Structure 1
Amino acid sequence: MKLLRLSFFSLAILLLFSCEKKSEECKLDQEILDQNIDLEITRLEDEFFQAETSEDFEFLIEKYPDFAEGYLGRSLYASPDSLISELLAIHQDSAMNVLYDSVKVNFQDITDIETDLENAFKYIKHYFPEFQIPKVYTFLSGFNSDLILTEDMIVIGLDYYLPPTHSFQPDLPRYMAERYDRPYIVPMIVTALSSQFNQINPQDNTMLAEMIYYGKAYHFTKAIMPCTSDQYIIGYTEEEIAECYANEEYIWAHFVENELLYETNPFDITKYIGEAPFTDAISTKAPGRLGRWLGWNIVDDYQFNQDVTLPELMDNANAEEIFRQSGYRPRPQN
């Protein structure tokens, strides 16, 4: 493994490699975009911060019962008055008001988010006609939640996605906080929605099963948002993506030589799949979650070589079959 550690992120190799997974020109399918869907993003942070009295909050709770239950947890409170009292306290909190002002400035216009989300929903609806368009709300979470998804509702905590240079930041490790920025919002939502269609075998507890699961999720997001940069899907920088491809042979050799594909120890799986600043078993300069990135490449090769549709891919719960039929090999470097 010394060779692998020494060669990882060689600048000479990096300069030879393009940052993007696919270089072909991207173009959205106009036939898909011509669909009519009913999507409206409701700016609840405005409505709740413009409320002033108990009666105002009571009205909003009744106006948005799905939000009141699915996000605020109305049924968990001893009485409606308890929830209203908490909302009033939040409304009167000076720090929350400053945070709200920042959100108003940075997200005054969310047309780009609405357009990307509408296009993504149209693509999902094209591939999965049974998909029901959820209600979409934005809110000020006080850094309590970034995204909440239920079967019928999506809530976006806009404060999580303030610019990385903003004085208010979520309490997250830096390597994760850097992914909480405006361009990541819709890809994060689409990746989360992929779980509705991503079939798994609950008896398969191998590293390979985890790799394929995330590979299918990222492949789904790229298929639904084909013009979105890979960095906003997997959360690597362009440089990290380039470096991963430049060292793909070494990464794959590490997995093969250490017999990791069929590893079932949760601790070992987490080292390659879980959130981390780097994959230290390979190199302290290698980004975390390399097992997910490798799984994405395997799934891409499977879809290409077997020519399966997106619904067929997502419906396949057999990780071993996807791997065997992918014909995956690391991309040779020139």
Structure 2
Amino acid sequence: MKRWIGLFIGLCLASCSSKKEEEVVTSLPDIKWDMQRLDRAIALASSEAAIDSILKKHPELGIGYFSCPPEKTPLLARDLYQLFKNPALRKFYDQSQDSSFFGGDRLEKELKIAFQRVQKEFPGMKTPKIRTVFSGFGGLGSEFTAQHLQVTDSLIVIGLDFFMGKKGLYLPPNVYDYQLRRLEPRALVGQVMLQYSAFLNKQNEEDHTLLSDMIWYGKGYAFTKTIVPEVSDSLLFGYTAQELLETNAFQKQVWEHFIDKKLLFNKEELIKSKYLGERPKTPEIGPACPGSIGRWVGYTIVQHYWAANPKLSISKIMADQDFNRIFLKSAYRGEPLTSN
């Protein structure tokens, strides 16, 4: 009897979850959707000529991602064909097609929902084309380049091999552990939207203070969490669960460091890079303080500002360039955000 009750409850929960997901999708606006899994097309190609045909049909891949001029497309096709003939690369690619990575159509669904949410918040915004590729971290010789993401407001190219995470057969070169956390499969959609946010995130070009840059980053994170609420802070910031816990608990001390050192209105690029740049830690504050802490503080300021002005839409926040006013109205002084 208990087994039947458990099964019934499980079926009910699955049904409710499915209905909730369906309701969310049906409430979102239609968009012009153009996403193509070119990683699969290239992997299935039976010859260099077939890959060359794919590249010529999609010049945005060669030019936009591999930095390959049109006249060298045959060379790129040759290199890609040879790569996929390599047993190690083929095994790595086959792993990427597992359901726990990028098999099936989960990635397509999640990206489409994300851009439908963008359209809901920013009506009239043109949805970029999306292409996927797999190149073994650009193991194509020195002539062509490859990276985890190429994002513009009209085209997004995703290097799926860079987002295989710690369980991937191979790890991206020159990537440290603190960076690898943002390259897990479940982090991909959040990282795409974080980079895409730059095209909607307004900033006063005359304002070059650390505070201005912190809040600019903070708005980008707020946008990403609005569009992809499912993404965890750990995957978004690249902080461990312990780092997130301690940063939140000790944010008063972090904030006091910025005040005591008179950093908020500092415009020196070297100083700003210490608090906003890619680093495993921020030793200026403490040996356990994670890197890019200024971005996290900027996000926290924006969270406080939004909590104090709950009727604001994310589009209004992204368009606001008066960062000093955002800071003052946030009333942030290093205290954790409390929910009423």
Instruction: State the partner residue of 1:70.
Output: 64
Residues 311, 166 of structure 1: alpha-carbon distance in 2 compared, 3 angstrom cutoff: closer
**Deviation at residue 199 of structure 1 after TM alignment:** 0.7
Q: Aligned match of 2:189 in 158, 178, 186? A: 186
Say whether the 8 Å CA contact 2:191–2:236 is kept in structure 1. Answer: yes
Alignment RMSD, CA only? 2.6
Name the aligned partner's letter for residue 105 of structure 2: T
Instruction: Measure, in 2, the Cα distance between the counterparts of 1:177 and 1:38.
Output: 32
Instruction: Measure, in 2, the Cα distance between the counterparts of 1:308 and 1:196.
Output: 20
Instruction: State the partner residue of 2:268.
Output: 265
Say whether the 8 Å CA contact 1:68–1:74 is kept in structure 2. Answer: yes
Instruction: Measure, in 1, the Cα distance between the counterparts of 2:75 and 2:25.
Output: 50
- Provide structure 2 residue ranges, at least 5 long, that are not aligned to the other structure: 1-19, 138-145
Instruction: State the partner residue of 1:98.
Output: 91
**Deviation at residue 230 of structure 1 after TM alignment:** 2.1
1:238 matched to 2:241: yes
Q: Structure 1 length normalisation: TM-score?
A: 0.83
Indicate the SS of the match to 2:303: helix
Say whether the 8 Å CA contact 2:275–2:293 is kept in structure 1. Answer: yes
Task: Say which is worse superposed, 60-69 or 145-154, in terms of deviation.
Answer: 60-69
Instruction: Measure, in 2, the Cα distance between the counterparts of 1:173 and 1:204.
Output: 32
**Deviation at residue 154 of structure 1 after TM alignment:** 1.5
Instruction: State the partner residue of 1:196.
Output: 199
- Provide structure 1 residue ranges, at least 5 long, that are not aligned to the other structure: 1-25
Residues 20-99 of structure 1 aligned to structure 2 (within 5 Å): 30=24, 33-39=27-33, 41-75=35-69, 78-99=71-92
Say whether the 8 Å CA contact 1:246–1:333 is kept in structure 2. Answer: no
Instruction: Measure, in 2, the Cα distance between the counterparts of 1:27 and 1:56.
Output: 39
Instruction: State the partner residue of 1:148.
Output: 150
Say whether the 8 Å CA contact 1:70–1:150 is kept in structure 2. Answer: no
1:297 matched to 2:300: yes
Instruction: Measure, in 2, the Cα distance between the counterparts of 1:27 and 1:260.
Output: 45
Task: Say which is worse superposed, 118-127 or 50-59, in terms of deviation.
Answer: 50-59
Instruction: Tell me the alpha carbon deviations over residues 65-95 of structure 1, each in whole angstroms, 9 at most, x when there is no partner.
Output: 32233223342x6444333333334344444
Say whether the 8 Å CA contact 1:27–1:227 is kept in structure 2. Answer: no
Higher relative contact order (CA 8 A, sep 6+): 1
The number of residues matched between the two structures is 308
Say whether the 8 Å CA contact 2:214–2:299 is kept in structure 1. Answer: yes
Indicate the SS of the match to 2:115: helix
**Deviation at residue 164 of structure 1 after TM alignment:** 0.5
Identity of aligned residues (%): 30
Instruction: Tell me the alpha carbon deviations over residues 175-224 of structure 1, each in whole angstroms, 9 at most, x when there is no partner.
Output: 11132101100000111111111011222221111101110000111111
Instruction: State the partner residue of 2:315.
Output: 311
Say whether the 8 Å CA contact 2:182–2:237 is kept in structure 1. Answer: no
Residues 318, 109 of structure 1: alpha-carbon distance in 2 compared, 3 angstrom cutoff: same
Instruction: Measure, in 2, the Cα distance between the counterparts of 1:33 and 1:191.
Output: 23
**Deviation at residue 170 of structure 1 after TM alignment:** 0.6
Residues 191, 84 of structure 1: alpha-carbon distance in 2 compared, 3 angstrom cutoff: same
Instruction: State the partner residue of 1:168.
Output: 170
Indicate the SS of the match to 1:156: strand
Instruction: State the partner residue of 2:289.
Output: 286
Instruction: Measure, in 1, the Cα distance between the counterparts of 2:160 and 2:25.
Output: 31
1:251 matched to 2:244: no
Instruction: Measure, in 2, the Cα distance between the counterparts of 1:287 and 1:319.
Output: 24
